[in-house]
C-alpha cells in the first residue's frame, strides 16, 4: 500500500508544472521528482533536452530531487543586460536561454562568426531590442499584422507560430507544409492575405553539404547519451538534429519523425540521412558522408564513422532519405 501511494505522488510530481514566486510570472517551472531524468521532463513538457539545459544553464545532465527547472523560455529582465560566456556555451544555447535568435545576438554584438570565448561579455539587452525591431516580417505600417516571415537561424515552426499568435497547424496549412522542416531564408506566409510580389523570395536550400559533414566530424568521440542533443552527449537523432540546426536547418527530433518528414531517394548522396531498423521500423540513423560511410551516434561508442557494408549495419539498413 505504501509503495502504491509513493508511486501516485511521484506521478503527480511528473505531471505538475508550478509557478515559483522567484520566477517571472510567465516562466513555467518544474520541481524534480524521484526517478526523473532530463529526457523524461523534456518529453512531459513537450520541449527538448537541449532547451532544458540552455534555459537552466546546466553543464551536465545530472539533476537532483527537489531541484527547480525552467520548462519554458526565461524572460529577459531589465537586469539581464549582458551575459558572460561560460565553458560549454555556444551562441545557439545562449540565444535559446534568452528567447532571442542567433542572428540578433550576433548583430547586436558585431560578431562575424559563431566563435565565442569563455569570459566574453555579450550584450543581451541590445539583442532583444534587435529582435523586437526586426524587419523580417513584411508589413505596410505598424498597425497591420505582418503577412510573411523570413526564417532565421534557430527558428522552428513552434517559435514562429508563438511569436505571431497562431498555431503550428495553421502555419503549416497556410504554407502547404506537410512536415515541420524549415530552413534559413525560407519565406513563410503568416496570413492568407496576398503578399507583394517584390517581398517574395525563392525558397532555396541554403546549407552547404561539406560544411554539414565538417560540423558533424567535430563531435567524433562525444559519448552516447539517451535523449542527449548537445555536445556533452548525443543520441542518434539528437546528433543529427543538432548538426543540421548548426547549418540553419530545422528538422524533427526523433528518428521516426525524421523518417516521416524527409524525401525518399534511391541511393545516398553526401548529406543524406541513412536509416536502420534496430527495432521495429526506423530506429537508428546517421548522416551519409560518401564512400559508403556514415557518421552517427552509436549507443556503444558514441559519435563515430561506420561503413554501410559492415556486417552489422548492412543487414538492418532500411533506406535513405533527403531533407530537401
Q: Are residues 157 and 96 in the same domain?
A: no
pLDDT at 109: 81
298 located within any domain: yes
- Quote the number of domains for the chain: 4
User: Residue 130: pLDDT above 60?
Assistant: no
Question: Per mean pLDDT, which range of 19-23, 110-114, 277-281, 305-309 is the poorest?
Answer: 19-23
CATH code for the domain of 66: 3.10.350.10
CB 293 within 8 A of CB 212: no
**Residue 220 and residue 298 in one domain:** yes
pLDDT, the chain, mean:
77
Q: Is the pLDDT of residue 79 over 60?
A: no
Say which residue, 134 or 272, is predicted with more confidence: 272
Whether residue 87 is predicted with pLDDT greater than 50 in this model: the reply is yes
Give the angle subtended at the CA of 53 by the CAs of 71 and 150, to the nearest 5°: 75
Residue 316 has pLDDT above 90, yes or no: yes
Residue 219 sits in a domain of what CATH number?
A: 3.90.1720.10
Task: Pick from 11-20, 111-120, 151-160, 291-300 the range whose average pLDDT is largest.
Answer: 291-300
Shared domain check, 316 and 216: yes
Same domain, 178 and 216: no
Most confident of 13-27, 191-205, 282-296: 282-296
- pTM (2 d.p.): 0.44
Residue 189 shares a structural domain with residue 239: no
Domain boundary among 70, 97, 120: 70
Do residue 267 and residue 177 come from a single domain?
Answer: no
Report if residue 107 sits inside a domain: yes
pLDDT at 53 over 90: no
Catalytic residues: 236, 284, 296
213 plus 315 within the same structural domain: yes
- Cα 239 to Cα 222: distance, rounded to the nearest angstrom: 10
Rounded mean pLDDT, 172-195: 76
Q: Is the pLDDT of residue 136 over 60?
A: no
Claim to verify: residue 318 and residue 294 sit in the same structural domain: yes
Name which of 140-149, 182-191, 231-240, 259-268 the model is least confident about. Answer: 140-149
Neighbours of 122 (CB within 10 A): 21
Above 60 in pLDDT, residue 269?
Answer: yes
In a domain, 271, yes or no: yes
Of 7-21, 92-106, 137-151, the one with minimum mean pLDDT is: 7-21
Q: Are residues 63 and 164 in the same domain?
A: no
pLDDT of 203 above 80: no
> 77, 68 in Cβ contact below 8 A?
no
224 and 282 together in one domain: yes
Boundaries of domain holding 18: 2-70
- State whether 170 and 216 are in the same domain: no
- 285, part of any domain: yes
What is residue 24's predicted lDDT score, i.e. its pLDDT? 53
Distance, CA of 75 to chain centre: 19
Amino acid at each position: 500500500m505504501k509503495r502504491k501511494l509513493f508511486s501516485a505522488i511521484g506521478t503527480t510530481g511528473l505531471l505538475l508544472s508550478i509557478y515559483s514566486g522567484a520566477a517571472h510570472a510567465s516562466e513555467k517551472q518544474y520541481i524534480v521528482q524521484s526517478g526523473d531524468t532530463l529526457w523524461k521532463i523534456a518529453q512531459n513538457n513537450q520541449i527538448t533536452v537541449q532547451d532544458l539545459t540552455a534555459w537552466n544553464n546546466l553543464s551536465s545532465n545530472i539533476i537532483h530531487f527537489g531541484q527547480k527547472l525552467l520548462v519554458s523560455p526565461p524572460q529577459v529582465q531589465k537586469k539581464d543586460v549582458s551575459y558572460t560566456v561560460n565553458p560549454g556555451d555556444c551562441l545557439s544555447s545562449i540565444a535559446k536561454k534568452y528567447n532571442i535568435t542567433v542572428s540578433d545576438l550576433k548583430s547586436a554584438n558585431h560578431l562575424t562568426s559563431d566563435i565565442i570565448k569563455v569570459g566574453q561579455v555579450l550584450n543581451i539587452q541590445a539583442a532583444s531590442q534587435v529582435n523586437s525591431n526586426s524587419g523580417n516580417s513584411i508589413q505596410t505600417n505598424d498597425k497591420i499584422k505582418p503577412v510573411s516571415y523570413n526564417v532565421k537561424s534557430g527558428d522552428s515552426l513552434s517559435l514562429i507560430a508563438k511569436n505571431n499568435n497562431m498555431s503550428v497547424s495553421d502555419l503549416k496549412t497556410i504554407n502547404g507544409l506537410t512536415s515541420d522542416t524549415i530552413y534559413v531564408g525560407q519565406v513563410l506566409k503568416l496570413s492568407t492575405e496576398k503578399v507583394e510580389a517584390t517581398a517574395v523570395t525563392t525558397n532555396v536550400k541554403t546549407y552547404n553539404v561539406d560544411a554539414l559533414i565538417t560540423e558533424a566530424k567535430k563531435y567524433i568521440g562525444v559519448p552516447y547519451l539517451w535523449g542527449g542533443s548537445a555536445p556533452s552527449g548525443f543520441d542518434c537523432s539528437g546528433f543529427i538534429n543538432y548538426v543540421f540546426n548548426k547549418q540553419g536547418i530545422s528538422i524533427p527530433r526523433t528518428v521516426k519523425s525524421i523518417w516521416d518528414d524527409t524525401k525518399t531517394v534511391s541511393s545516398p548522396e553526401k548529406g543524406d540521412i541513412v536509416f536502420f531498423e534496430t527495432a521495429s521500423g526506423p530506429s537508428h540513423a546517421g548522416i551519409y558522408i560518401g564512400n559508403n560511410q556514415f557518421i552517427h551516434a552509436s549507443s556503444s561508442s558514441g559519435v563515430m564513422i561506420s561503413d554501410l557494408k559492415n556486417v552489422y549495419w548492412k543487414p538492418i539498413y532500411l533506406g535513405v532519405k533527403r531533407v530537401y
